[in-house]
Amino acid sequence: MYVDKLIAQTLCDGLLPLTIGTVSVTEVDPGAIHAVSAFQGQAKSLSEAMKAAHGMALPAPNRATGKSGARAVWFGPGQVMLIGSTPDPLLSAHAAVVDQSDAWAVVRLEGDGAEDVLARLVPVDLRPQQFKRGHTARTLLFHMTASITRVGEKAFQIMVFRSMATSLVHDLQRAMEGVAARG
Amino acid sequence: MRVADRGLIDRGTPVEFSFDGIRYSGFQGDTLASALLANGVRLMGRSFKYHRPRGVLTAGSEEPNALVTIGRGAAQDPNVRATMQEIYPGLEARSQNRWPSLNFDVMAVNDLAAPFLGAGFYYKTFMWPRSFWENLYEPMIRRAAGLGALSGQANADTYESAYAFCDLLVIGAGPAGLMAALTAGRAGADVILADESNQMGGRLLAETLEVDGKPGHVWVDEVLAELRAMENVRLMTRTAVAGAYDQGTFAALERVMHHTGDRPAGAPLETYWRIAARRSVLAAGALERPVAFRNNDRPGIMTAGAVRAYLNRWGVAAGRSVTIFGNTDDIHRTARDLLAAGVHVAAVIDSRHDGPVSTDYPVLRGAQVCGTSGRKGLESITVRRASGEERIQTDCLAMTGGWNPSVHLTCHMNGRPTWRRDIAAFVPTPGAVPGMRTAGACNGAFSTAACLREGISAATEALGDLGLKASKPAPPQAEDQPCEIAQLWGVPGKGRAWLDFQNDVTVKDVKQAATENFRSVEHMKRYTTQGMATDQGKNSNVAALAILADATGRAIPETGTTTFRPPYSPIAIAALGAGAEGAGFKPQRLTTSHKASVARGAPMVEAGLWYRPSYFPQPGETTWRQSCDREVQMVRTAVGVCDVSTLGKIDIQGRDAAQFLDFVYTNTFSTLKVGRVRYGLMLREDGFVMDDGTTARLGDSHFLMTTTTAAAGDVMKHLEFVRQGLRPDWDVSLVSVTEQWAQFAVAGPKSREVLNGLLDTPLDDAAWPFMACGPVSVLGVPGRLFRISFSGEHAYEIALPARYGASLFDILTRQAEALGGGLYGMEALNVLRIEKGFITHAEIHGRTTAFDIGMGRMVSQKKDCIGKTMSERPGLEEPGRERLVGLKPIGESRQLLAGAHLYNEEDAPVRTNDQGYVTSVCYSPTLGSMLGLAFLADGPDRHGEIVKMVDHLRGVTTLCEVTDPVFFDPEGERVRG
Amino acid sequence: MRITCPYCGERDRREFYYRGAAVDLDRPAPDAGPDAWDDFVYLRDNPAGETRDLWYHEGGCGAWIVVTRNTLTHEVSATEPASGGKR
């Protein structure tokens, strides 16, 4: 019998990268992603453990801490997503830690007019004066629930459910074409 | 006729276009209406009901007459207002509602039949016979009356929707709006200034007024230049703010590409904006009122403001010899502008007795226009004075009955405008829309200086609310004439005097409505169709109200008011639904095995947002049943593989996780051992079944719940409600892990053999009994294994991180095929579960209890749970309820149908004899028969009895034996073996 | 319509799912008797004026929210987490 081998696959396979006009969207390999939800009354000690182990505190609502490679993104009341580094086992004393590394399609939308593209899809004000680097929003991207974080002057990290990667690219492409066509 | 030295058009750029197949030339900056008038074309449309020849009445978005169709084929765009359509090279416009041509329209015969087509004619004329309505009257009326037609093809254009945010939204960019935007912009507020026209400036572009000693349009350009330079100000031209909604939400339609034939691929024709504004200033201006007199609808008769706009903004004289009729000093403004441009003014007819006089042109005071002639274009008017009637030759009559402030948006949240007697107009009631202030003409301030002042003060007040300081600019110098108006709605006399031009409503119709006791303005509108056309009564509602007031002997405020609903101007459905067509209708959720399943020719079915394979056809199979039967037998005799990743998976952790599960499930989970799985049933608080599924205990305070595919979202919402709303003190965390894991069912006698081909540690029954679960290593990758079964076979579900899903599916498929098995889809899965009597949402459809599905004993008596108290209500536990049974056909007909009803064999199949209904059916290749699951009164006590299944829709009657719902392997030996 | 999520701030109504009256939070004891349970499950006021209802920030952070609003004016006067801030 032949020897089988499991092959890991990227999910935007064949769909990305995509550049239309001045905006591009690329698939991001964010590394490990874990949902970290503090146990009852443990938010403070979790934040301290996070700081000790990963060098960043628990982000406040609508904020992300850390930087590319190790980022903590606020995901909801009592929940952050630790992205890029494998959580220290000590965190489990203070929080439920759930592997989400394969659950999210993560893309980077970047370029002049990236805000205009997102204004066609997202019902939140993402202009730089309102939504600065380190700001994050749980919101909708057209019909999909999403997490959107500004990761650069002209760059956003967008996360939607893995199974919706095709729809994400479809919706982004349509919005990008509309923005590009206006010139 | 084009006039020299007038207008803001670009005379250096001629533009060729066509109307009804004839080529014309205009200039860059022209609208279709201004360009046609410049070419001497007055006849532009036919009216809705009487097919009366019509020309342009206005110069704005309120235009009722000059509606045209632009483009051809799938891109055909009907009912475009010629006054708003900018011309571009190659523009192709056609007139509407006429046959065979605009000039000769057969349906104009309706005009002769007018005495029979008055108000409410269809309520009276087409009363009987009743059957004629659908087959004769309605098609006839629809053919005779109407506007432009859709192409009947899928819309080829792209539409877009978008969001915008600001501190202050300024609606309208006339003098008031510009000053408001300037004031707020200078104070640093985040401003959006939106105007429906292609050029900002409002009436300053259409009049010869001066601001700060400069021509109005020059001042506009200077203000716009300053606004453009501000980063905090966003100018949106060609954008009509169409609706005002709660909490400062506005809808606006931007006409992005209508003005050009050069449309790049992907460019939106229109964008539907949703604007969230903390404060707003309405500076929408005012709309001029036509006057109702006999035959006031001839091409060449238009509002005086429109005549000035065509002259001053577009350099077009609307006629060679113009007459002017009205009740304000605007008649003299119109005359002066025309004379200055070299256009002959035949007469000015002032309805007032005490108006100003002039030496430059004849002024007839205390006079009224009481008739006109010229069927396809005005030729003369008849003027009535105390001294008698006189006829005046003219090809254009400019009329004004005063102005109606554009209060529309202030009505969108149930606000009712207030009547102001001094200016004979409705004005907005303050506070009608929270956070909105009104300024300028829309507020009843008609002089330029007043508009500028009010723009400043409205913005200053809004800035105060926003916590911003305004360095209040000094208002620029401008004319500040008071409004001297004498009410003038209609001219008494015989014949038809039009109010609503588009819907062909006349003064007589309104009076008739009053006579027939439709005295409420709301009744009158519905009876006459007044105000129900695409202009929504912008040109006529107030006048109609005044006529009704007169006819019923009441004052205007007593008679009622006129309100407006969104949208301010028409919006295509395509714009409202932008992006949601085709693949944008809803997100598609695709499993990791999707590509491989499609490659194998599996038709996909939708389950919620997910796509799942229906069956996997093999060569030679021509029907789904052949594939399905084979797949069922394959699972029963060898092994089958099925993607079950779509089931909801919720990771539950925390000190109180077990207690939490005990509370949301009817049965007990705190007693479940680590490494074991238990089936659970969830109720709604009203005691009916909500969902079912299995939950595995992965650790002491760590569980993994599965939900059905369709209910996954609802269950998560429910659990979060319980966690946050009912038990906030408990230590529980919930995380959906549906997407994290690719999970496959491996079912059948050879399932263990398949798995042992890829597990790093082989399975045995001792370590992995039925309902066991735990971590496994799959070809070096950590995963999870559950020994659970939805087929009744010895079966497992294996889960790996989703990145390995496609690869695992491929390996499992090949392993299974090597053992005489293979893939199975939703059809086979359904047959397998019906053979075992397992329920799905076909059975737990929201009206069944645990008792009904034979799981009454699963509601633990030792603890409280959601739905428990209500499930114990007497009526929900009576044996006579319709309860779950199996059905097997026994008579001549072997057919079972889901949705069919059950009756006793001897009873007539009528509602009063109803005994129950069928929820799921299949053909079982295992048992060689159709099988059904059904709910039957007293069901479990009637096993062995005969009932009659009747499907009234499909005309099928089948005698059935009532059985236990578990048809196959009732002892459950296979699942444990 | 816009609703202020206590965590995310002011958001468009489309991000929220509407459940119904906030009475749903006041779950009676199992033995409270049929009248109390009937009230809790089925009976709702239909006030012309202030009302408290439950919304779920489904297209957002997942918080259940108690929204106090006026059915006549549509004014939203308060929003607070259904958990009372315990989450």
Strand partners, A23: A20, A111
CA B450 – CA B430 distance, rounded (Å): 17
Name residues 673-692 of chain B within 8 A of C (Cβ).
685-686
Please, are residues B397 and B322 in contact by the beta-carbon 8 Å criterion? yes
B358 and B415 share a domain?
Answer: no
DSSP assigned state of B351: S
Q: Where are the domains of chain C?
A: 2-27+46-81
Residue A3 has pLDDT above 60, yes or no: no
B633 and B747 share a domain?
Answer: yes
What one-letter code names the amino acid at B625? R
Q: Where are the domains of chain A?
A: 18-29+102-182, 33-99
From C83's Cα to the closest Cα of chain B, the distance in A is 5
Nearest to A7 by CA among B811, B857, B1, B209: B811
B322 and B343 share a domain?
Answer: yes
Cβ–Cβ contacts within 10 Å for residue B944, how many?
A: 8
Domain end point (choices B353, B374, B402):
B402
- Per-residue burial over B530-557, b = 16 or more CB atoms within 10 Å of its CB, e = otherwise: bbebbbbbbbbbbbbbbbbbbbbeeebe
Q: Domain residues for B311?
A: 288-402
CA B911 – CA B848 distance, rounded (Å): 20
**Tokens coding B420:** 């102001």
Half-sphere exposure of residue B51, counting CA atoms within 13 Å on the CB side? Answer: 22
Model confidence pLDDT, tens digit, residues A56-93: 999 999 999 998 789 999 999 999 999 999 999 999 99
ipTM above 0.85, yes or no: yes
The CATH code of the domain that includes B953 is 2.40.30.110
B749 and B629 share a domain?
Answer: yes
Least CB–CB distance from B728: residue in C24, C56, C86: C86
B657 and B628 share a domain?
Answer: no
Please, are residues B37 and B119 in contact by the beta-carbon 8 Å criterion? no
| Residues lower than pLDDT 70 in chain B | 121-128, 130, 133, 140-145
Residues C37, B870: C-beta atoms closer than 8 Å: yes
A77 at C interface, C-beta within 8 A? yes
- Phi, then psi, of B524 in degrees rounded to 5: -60, -45
A18: three-class secondary structure by DSSP = strand
CA B203 – CA B172 distance, rounded (Å): 11
B177 and B277 share a domain?
Answer: yes
Q: Is residue B538, in this structure, part of any structural domain at all?
A: yes
CATH of C2-27+46-81, one of 3.40.630.10, 1.10.3720.10, 3.30.2270.10, 1.10.443.10: 3.30.2270.10
The CATH code of the domain that includes B619 is 3.30.1360.120
What one-letter code names the amino acid at B961? E
pTM tops 0.90: yes
Least CB–CB distance from B161: residue in A1, A4, A120: A120
Q: Is B811 left (phi over 0), alpha (psi -120 to 50) or beta?
A: alpha
> For the structural domain made of A18-29+102-182, what CATH number should be given?
3.30.1360.120
Please, are residues C25 and B725 in contact by the beta-carbon 8 Å criterion? yes
Q: Is residue B383, in this structure, part of any structural domain at all?
A: yes
B614 and B753 share a domain?
Answer: yes
B863 at C interface, C-beta within 8 A? no
Sign of CA dihedral B148, B151, B152, B158: negative
pLDDT of residue A12: 74
From A67's Cα to the closest Cα of chain B, the distance in A is 24
What's the whole-number mean pLDDT along residues A146-162? 97
pLDDT of residue B142: 67
Q: Where are the beta strands (DSSP E) in B289-417?
A: 301-303, 321-326, 344-350, 363-365, 368-373, 380-385, 388-393, 396-400, 403-405
CA B881 to chain centre: 43
Q: Which residues in chain B have their CB less than 8 angstroms from residue C27's CB?
A: 685, 726
From A122's Cα to the closest Cα of chain C, the distance in A is 10
B174 and B298 share a domain?
Answer: no
C71 at B interface, C-beta within 8 A? no
- Per-residue burial over B713-742, b = 16 or more CB atoms within 10 Å of its CB, e = otherwise: bbbbbbbbbbbbbbbbebbbbbbbbbbbbb
Q: Is residue B137, in this structure, part of any structural domain at all?
A: no
Sign of CA dihedral A22, A27, A30, A33: positive
**Tokens coding B704:** 């993994």
Q: Which residues in chain B have their CB less than 8 angstroms from residue C42's CB?
A: 686
B196 and B241 share a domain?
Answer: yes
Model confidence pLDDT, tens digit, residues A173-183: 999 999 999 87
DSSP assigned state of B460: H
B744 and B690 share a domain?
Answer: no
pLDDT of residue A1: 45
Helix B521-528 / helix B507-515 crossing angle, nearest 10 deg: 120
B275 and B354 share a domain?
Answer: no
Residues C59, A61: C-beta atoms closer than 8 Å: no
Number of domains observed in the structure of chain B: 7
Give the CA-trace dihedral at B683, B689, B690, B693, to 10 degrees: 90
- Name the H helices within B363-519: 448-466, 507-515
- Name the H helices within chain A: 43-54, 114-119, 165-182
Q: Is residue B757, in this structure, part of any structural domain at all?
A: yes
Least CB–CB distance from C82: residue in B163, B246, B725: B725
Site of tokens 């007139």: B95
Q: Is residue B47, in this structure, part of any structural domain at all?
A: yes
Class of CATH domain A33-99: alpha beta
Please, are residues B404 and B289 in contact by the beta-carbon 8 Å criterion? yes
Q: Where are the beta strands (DSSP E) in B860-945?
A: 882-889, 901-904, 916-924, 929-937
